[in-house]
Each structure stands twice: as structure tokens, then as C-alpha cells.
Amino acid sequence: MKIHAPKKIVLFSHDSVGLGHVRRNLALARAFTEAADRDGTGPVTGLLVTGEPVALKFPLPRGWEWLVIPGITKSGSSYGARRLDVPFGDLTQLRGRIVRGALLSFGPDLVVVDRHPYGVRQELAPALRDLKRERPETRIVLGMREVLDEPARAAKEWAKLDLDQFCRDFDQIWVYGDPRVHDPVESGEIPAAVSHLVRHTGYLSAGRAVGRSPRMVEQPYVVSMFGGGSDAFELAELAARTPVPEGFEHLVVTGPQMPSADFRRVQAAAGPHVQLHKSVPDGLACLREASAAVLMGGYNTMCELLSSHVPALVVPRTSPRTEQLIRATALERHGAVSVLEPEAVSPDALARWFTAATTGQIAQSGGRSAIDGHGLDAVVRLTAALLSPHDAPSVSLRMNLTAAVADAR
């Protein structure tokens, strides 16, 4: 019996605010491992590189390990050290050197960088270029959520890069979305000069792992969840004060990054029938068992929602980026969610929506079923093509035929 050497993969995220990058990469890691087990293509092993130590609380798929680098944080548009008392330039240099050592020692077949192609302040550039010199066979991919920001602001980010050099450094750009919902190439969020590298995968939605976590509240219940929670105090406090329909409990999950003082204030505001938690063992399981949900509009939250039939009201963050608002309104146009902007939120408005959702007046599953949510499968196929050059044309052809069939429907 032929023994396959494990494919080595590195998934990097810079991780300044929230848990979105970590959760996205963790979903990819699970997809790679599950596909290897299912298809018998040989083992997969990899490193998940993160600057967020909270990530260590998430269970890892077999063959994967966390590499936690010194953390950064963001205030407005400025980055800084999260804990180390050092100049920020020294910090990014340290982070880059740690990643460079890991890449050159581990020798990955594939590196996927999440969202920012060279990390923060070009911290990854030396590492990626040294890796390309020492291992030209390594494939390097930029993985991007489907919405970056308003086009003018996204263009300013790209303008800081040498796009010719980018095209030499990166083999592909994976856009984790359905271009029929939102196309960042068409909107101008991704420049034409790199558009030939873009592969739309579909949302990383179908196939998300659901654990068997202890039930946090008895059914029936409604849920309000706020991602990482670092900037969710006002919305969480309003949700905690919201009266819920008779016979329902209200599970409010503020997010593990909500400051303790803010959590206590939400706790003090909570009305009857509210079960308040900073985090839950399995957010997707809690969401799928709920009768209705109030959510923020982060990418991973929306992916989990798209894999469910739960009616949802999205209250998107509108600053410092408009990313969540763009995503939420695009999904609302497709009938997949309802949207309420933050300035319109009140306990009365949320109560009216919960009543409508729990009495069958809101149906959104039809809109969701028409959206391509099979991005995890597509990423596995793209990886197989990248790492098996002789098979690439046939794999690409199959993906194009699949997309053509979906469009014809």
C-alpha cells in the first residue's frame, strides 16, 4: 500500500479585532482534514497562525496546531501592540520573523493568508518571498471575504501595494462568496490588475461543523449573538432589555471579547427570561435550535446563518468600516435576512421583530437556498488543482461546468 506524505498547509490571520479571521481559517482547516478522510487522498497537517490567544479555546481538527504570535490591536484606523510594551514597528518585525522561521522550517505546500496579503505593515513580505525562493513549488493564496469595504476605501489599501509584485507573490485570490450576491471585482473593491487571480468559491457555509454542546437554555427560545463582542455593548444592552414573546426564553451571547465592565452593565439591564453568557460552547448549534435570531453582520456569523433556516434580523456594524452594512443589504436584497441599522434599534423594535419571526410572518430560507454556500468544498477542489499541476485543467473545467450548471438553474 502506497503511503502518502501529508500535505502541509499554513493558514495565517493577523487578528487585531474580533474572531472572524480565526473562525474562517478554522473552518478551512476542518474542511481540508474532512476531505482528506473522505476522499482518501492522504493526510493533511497544518499550522493555524494567529495573534489571538482566545483561539486556543477552539478545538482543532486532527493534524493541526496553533502558532500564536504576539498580538496586535486596533483603535480607529491605527494598530498597536496588544500587550507587549514595544514600538509597533518592532512588534511587526518580531511577528514577521516568527512566521518566517515557521514557514521555512515547516516547508508548507500551501499558504493561505487571510484578508491582508502581507499582514500588517508588510510584516509577512520577507517571509513569503524567502519561502518562494527556497520552495518555489509552494503555492501562496490570499483568502478574502466577499465584502472588503466601500470601493474608494478598499482602493486606498490596494494603492499601497506594488500590484506587479503581488502577482508574483500570490498564485490565486480566493473570494469566499457568491458573486451574484456581491462581486468585489465588479464593485471595484478588488482592482482589475489582479482580477485574473480571483476565484469565487461561494460562502464558507455548508458543511460547518456542529458540535454536541450542553443546551444553554430550554426551547423554545430566541437568540441574540454579537460575534467577538468587543464593540457590541450598546446593541447587547438593548437586546437584553427587549421583552420576548410569551413562552420564549432569550439567550443573549455578548461575545468573549466584551470587556468585563460592559458585560456587567448588560447583566444589570437584563429583563426577565434572559439567559446571558459571554460565550457558548457551540454558537452554530445555539443558532440552529433558536426560533429567531438578532445578529451582527460579520462574515462568519452570516455563513453560519446561511446554513440554517432560522429567521434573522441583522444589525450591521457601520463604522469604522461599512463592510457589514454592504453584506447585510446585499443578503436582504436576496431575501435571506432582514436588516435594521443601529440607529433604529430599540427594545420595542426588537420585540416587534421577534413577535413577527416567531409567529411565522417572516420566511427567509428560500432566499438562502438560492445562494451558493459550498465554499468549503470549492476551496478543497481549488487546493487539489493548485497542488496537482497536471490535474489542474480538468479540475478547473469541472468547477467551471458546475458554475455554469448553477447559473443555468
pLDDT given at position 395: 37
Q: Nearest CA to 16 among 75, 90, 101?
A: 75
Q: Which of 317, 323, 290, 321 is nearest to 305 (CA)?
A: 290
Beta bridge partners of 11: 48, 112
Please say whether the beta carbons of 388 and 405 come within 8 A: no
Asked if residues 338 and 351 have their Cβ atoms less than 8 Å apart, the reply is no
Band the pLDDT of 211: cuts 50, 70, 90: low
pLDDT per position as a tens digit, 68-103: 999 998 776 678 888 999 999 999 999 999 999 999
234-254 burial, b at 16+ Cβ within 10 Å, e below that, comes to ebbbbbbbbebbeebbbbbbb
Task: Return the CATH number of the domain spanning residue range 221-369.
Answer: 3.40.50.2000
Architecture of domain 7-203+373-408: 3-Layer(aba) Sandwich (3.40)
Per DSSP, 241 falls in state T
**Residue 13, CA distances (Å) to 113, 218, 311, 356 in order:** 6, 36, 31, 39
Cα–Cα distance for residue pair 99/58, rounded to 1 Å: 21
User: Does residue 225 have a pLDDT over 70?
Assistant: yes
Which DSSP state fits 2?
Answer: P
- What pLDDT is attached to residue 390? 55
Instruction: Average the pLDDT over each of 11-15, 40-44, 292-296, 321-325 and give the range with the smallest value.
Output: 40-44
Domain with CATH 3.40.50.2000 in the chain: 7-203+373-408, 221-369
- Predicted structure pTM score: 0.91
Confidence of residue 319 (pLDDT cuts 50, 70, 90): confident
Q: How confident is the model at residue 388 (pLDDT cuts 50, 70, 90)?
A: confident
